[in-house]
């Protein structure tokens, strides 16, 4: 009975969640699919740009995964959220959150009509959308921006944002956030 009651709470997590990583990932996804520039430059002819949510799980992934070689060239934005709860020793009510974006663009698709390499252009849009934004309740700033390659013919742009966050001081009980 206790197990059934516990499992019954899982669907509610879609509506309310106190976990920083899950909450931030949802906000990142929402921001990425709301930016028509990103959807357009991801350049997936099999998906409809007017339905940007169709890019989730295909070209926009909420985890970092080196894409397999495709029969048709594809581009990807992968991201992860890391929470470091021990960074702020001066204030145990705060923690540091790092959001890492990894943009993978297959070498066949690097050239764009804008004369900017695709992974750099997508990186620019990500920086434009997330640097100094308050969408997480506090401002994030870029702490890392690096270009690299994979051995699978992808050019990569990795961008990290660091921001402060509250350290587990909020818990939702019966649908009401409590401090």
> What is residue 9's predicted lDDT score, i.e. its pLDDT?
63
Give the tens place of pLDDT for each residue, 5-55: 666 666 665 666 667 788 889 999 999 999 999 999 999 999 999 999 999
Tell me, rounded to whole angstroms, the distance of Cα 45 from its chain centroid: 22
> What is residue 12's predicted lDDT score, i.e. its pLDDT?
62
DSSP symbol at 114: T
Residue that wins the pLDDT comparison between 56 and 164: 56
Residue 96 banded pLDDT, cuts 50, 70, 90: confident
> What is residue 19's predicted lDDT score, i.e. its pLDDT?
75
Please state, in angstroms and rounded to a whole number, the distance separating the CA atoms of residues 158 and 100.
7
CB 140 within 8 A of CB 99: yes
CB 96 within 8 A of CB 108: no
What are the CA-CA distances from residue 178 to residues 2, 121, 134, 144 (Å)? Answer: 24, 41, 22, 34
Mean pLDDT of the chain, nearest integer: 84
Please state, in angstroms and rounded to a whole number, the distance separating the CA atoms of residues 46 and 117.
21
Nearest to 58 by CA among 83, 32, 22: 32
For residue 67, pLDDT over 60 is answered with yes
Going by DSSP bridges, is the β-strand pair 94-106/60-61 parallel, antiparallel, or unpaired? Answer: unpaired
E strand segments, 44-129: 60-61, 75-84, 94-106
Residue that wins the pLDDT comparison between 76 and 95: 76
The pLDDT of 139-167, averaged and rounded, is 88
Nearest to 151 by CA among 110, 111, 104, 101: 104
């Amino acid at each position: 009975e206790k197990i059934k009651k516990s499992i019954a709470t899982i669907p509610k997590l879609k509506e309310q969640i106190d976990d920083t990583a899950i909450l931030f990932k949802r906000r990142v996804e929402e921001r990425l699919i709301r930016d028509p520039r990103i959807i357009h430059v991801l350049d997936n002819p099999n998906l409809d740009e007017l339905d940007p949510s169709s890019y989730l799980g295909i070209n926009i992934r909420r985890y970092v995964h080196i894409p397999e070689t495709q029969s048709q060239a594809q581009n990807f934005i992968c991201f992860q959220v890391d929470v470091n709860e021990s960074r702020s020793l001066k204030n145990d009510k705060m923690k540091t959150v790092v959001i890492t974006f990894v943009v993978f663009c297959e070498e066949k698709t690097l050239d764009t009509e804008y004369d900017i390499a695709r992974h750099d252009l997508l990186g620019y849009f990500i920086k434009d959308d997330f640097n100094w934004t308050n969408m997480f309740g506090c401002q994030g700033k870029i702490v890392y921006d690096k270009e690299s390659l994979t051995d699978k013919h992808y050019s990569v742009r990795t961008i990290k944002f660091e921001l402060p966050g509250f350290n587990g001081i909020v818990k939702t009980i019966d649908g009401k956030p409590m401090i």
